[in-house]
């Protein structure tokens, strides 16, 4: 007796013969391929011991809103094949807002299709239609090119190759360079349910932040003692200096989480995420200060629009906008961006300073966006 036990894989497949009868091909060679279409009709298996590998050289990629990005992925056979084989390629996607902090098995089933390709034919789906293609710059290259990146394209992408019975996949995380900002309603603190928070961010040219985005913002120093919705339906807030009233002194710095909250009934602020804008935000040169109505009109007369809060934060974070003059923004708030803290321009940290929502008749400058 051999002291060695080989794992045996027994697979049976039905092959339809021209006569319409089916015949059972049984084999037990312990290898990975069962290839009926390429066989000689006698049920011979051609691909003994060959394995398919799908891999991505880069587990995560970060990009800029509005630009194009390439998510790297390639496949190969081991040992190498001399003849190309017909494969099916599928890119699917788990949007960042469905990647919850507690990884549930159900999250996997929430992946949706981005693109399917077979040979030269391919099809893209949903909001990716017409925006994606395979790069195919070398044999085995299945990298996905996405054009016109949108704020909500972030998440985990899966590249899958299906070859007969064998398939393998790899994942790539897509992140956007951007900025997280806390946002509350003109009507007051803790006013938004989840859907209101989603809308409020969108109105400010932003989207609800993901857990990862808030985490990065916290690492960069964001400290905010008001709880806000995140894209995954949890409510959290970032604390860098533990203190009473903000989770207490016993808790280490970090994100404080209230977990999943009721999306209709519970009300909080929002954490929004915005990323680089194509246009520019500028402080309008104007001889006098303006009330809110006049401010909106003055930007229009200048051929632009009053800036949104997300645009202001992007300009501050990504373009270094620095101006020590308070100005109206589109939501009726008054703010100014500081990248070089100095005397008489607020606290010693950099940031976008806010005067909240003053009465609309009060007079300030205005920030426009073009």
Ligand X SMILES: *[C@@H]1O[C@H](CO)[C@@H](O)[C@H](O)[C@H]1NC(C)=O
**Residues in touch with ligand X (CB under 6 A):** 127, 150, 152, 291-294, 360-361
Contact 50, 79 (CB under 8 A): yes
Nearer to ligand X, 104 or 293 (CB): 293
Spatial separation of the C-alpha atoms in residues 328 and 345, rounded to whole Å: 17
Least distance from C-beta 204 to ligand X, angstroms? 12
With the C-alpha atoms ordered 178, 313, 98, 226, is the resulting torsion angle positive or negative? positive
Least distance from C-beta 290 to ligand X, angstroms? 8
- Residue of 153, 151, 145 whose CA lies nearest to 173: 153
Least distance from C-beta 87 to ligand X, angstroms? 28
Q: Which residues make Cβ contacts (< 8 Å) with residue 154, sequence separation at least 6? A: 95, 96, 174, 175, 176, 210, 213
Least distance from C-beta 360 to ligand X, angstroms? 4
Q: Which residues make Cβ contacts (< 8 Å) with residue 363, sequence separation at least 6? A: 288, 289, 290, 291
Nearer to ligand X, 170 or 180 (CB): 180
Least distance from C-beta 359 to ligand X, angstroms? 8
Contact 369, 352 (CB under 8 A): no
Nearer to ligand X, 349 or 362 (CB): 362
Nearer to ligand X, 167 or 294 (CB): 294
Spatial separation of the C-alpha atoms in residues 210 and 225, rounded to whole Å: 18
- Residue of 321, 315, 304, 336 whose CA lies nearest to 205: 315
CA atoms within 13 A on the CB side of 177: 14
Nearer to ligand X, 170 or 298 (CB): 298
Q: Which residue of this chain has its Cβ atom nearest to ligand X in the complex?
A: 361
Three-point CA angle 88, 93, 96, nearest 5° = 165
Nearer to ligand X, 170 or 272 (CB): 272
Burial profile 131-155: b = 16 or more Cβ within 10 angstroms, e = fewer: bbebeeeeebebbbebeebebbbbb
Least distance from C-beta 130 to ligand X, angstroms? 13
Residue 49's region, left for phi above 0, alpha for psi from -120 to 50, else beta, is left
Pairing of strands 112-118, 69-71: unpaired
Nearer to ligand X, 31 or 125 (CB): 125
Nearer to ligand X, 64 or 226 (CB): 64
Least distance from C-beta 132 to ligand X, angstroms? 14
Nearer to ligand X, 227 or 326 (CB): 326
Cis check: omega of the bond before 15, within 30 degrees of 0: no
Contact 307, 330 (CB under 8 A): yes
DSSP 147-169: -S--GGG-EEEEEEEEETTEEEE
Least distance from C-beta 97 to ligand X, angstroms? 8
Least distance from C-beta 148 to ligand X, angstroms? 10
């Amino acid at each position: 007796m051999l002291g060695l036990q080989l794992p045996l894989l027994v697979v049976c497949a039905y092959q339809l013969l021209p006569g319409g009868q089916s015949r059972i091909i049984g084999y037990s060679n312990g290898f990975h391929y069962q290839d009926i279409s390429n066989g000689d009709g006698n049920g011979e298996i051609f691909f003994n011991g060959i394995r398919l590998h799908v891999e991505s050289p880069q587990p995560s990629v970060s990009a800029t809103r509005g630009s194009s990005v390439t998510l790297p992925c390639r496949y190969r056979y081991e040992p190498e094949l001399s003849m190309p084989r017909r494969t099916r390629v599928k890119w699917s996607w788990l949007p960042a807002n469905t990647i919850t902090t507690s990884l549930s098995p159900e999250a996997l089933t929430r992946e949706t299709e981005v693109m399917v390709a077979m040979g030269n034919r391919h099809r893209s789906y949903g909001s990716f239609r017409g925006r994606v293609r395979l790069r195919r710059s070398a044999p085995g290259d299945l990298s996905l090119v996405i054009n016109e990146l949108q704020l909500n394209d972030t998440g985990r992408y899966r590249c899958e190759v299906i070859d007969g019975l064998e398939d393998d996949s790899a994942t790539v995380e897509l992140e956007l360079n951007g900025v997280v900002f806390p946002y509350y309603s003109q009507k007051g603190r803790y006013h938004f349910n989840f859907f209101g928070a989603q809308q409020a961010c969108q109105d400010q040219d932003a989207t609800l932040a993901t857990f990862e985005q808030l985490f990065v913002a916290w690492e960069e120093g964001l400290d905010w003692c008001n709880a806000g919705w995140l894209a995954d339906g949890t409510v959290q807030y970032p604390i860098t200096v533990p203190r009473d009233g903000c989770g207490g002194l016993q808790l280490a710095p970090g994100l404080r989480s209230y977990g999943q909250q009721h999306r209709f009934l519970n009300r909080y602020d929002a954490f929004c995420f915005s990323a680089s804008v194509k246009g520019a935000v500028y402080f309008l040169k104007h001889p006098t200060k303006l009330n809110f109505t006049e401010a909106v009109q003055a930007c229009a007369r200048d051929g632009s629009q009053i800036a949104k809060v997300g645009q202001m934060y992007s300009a501050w974070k990504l373009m270094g906008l620095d101006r020590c003059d308070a100005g109206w923004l589109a939501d009726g708030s008054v703010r100014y961006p500081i990248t070089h803290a100095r005397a008489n321009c607020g606290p010693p940290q950099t940031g976008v300073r806010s005067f909240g929502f003053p009465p609309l008749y009060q007079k300030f400058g205005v920030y426009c966006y073009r």
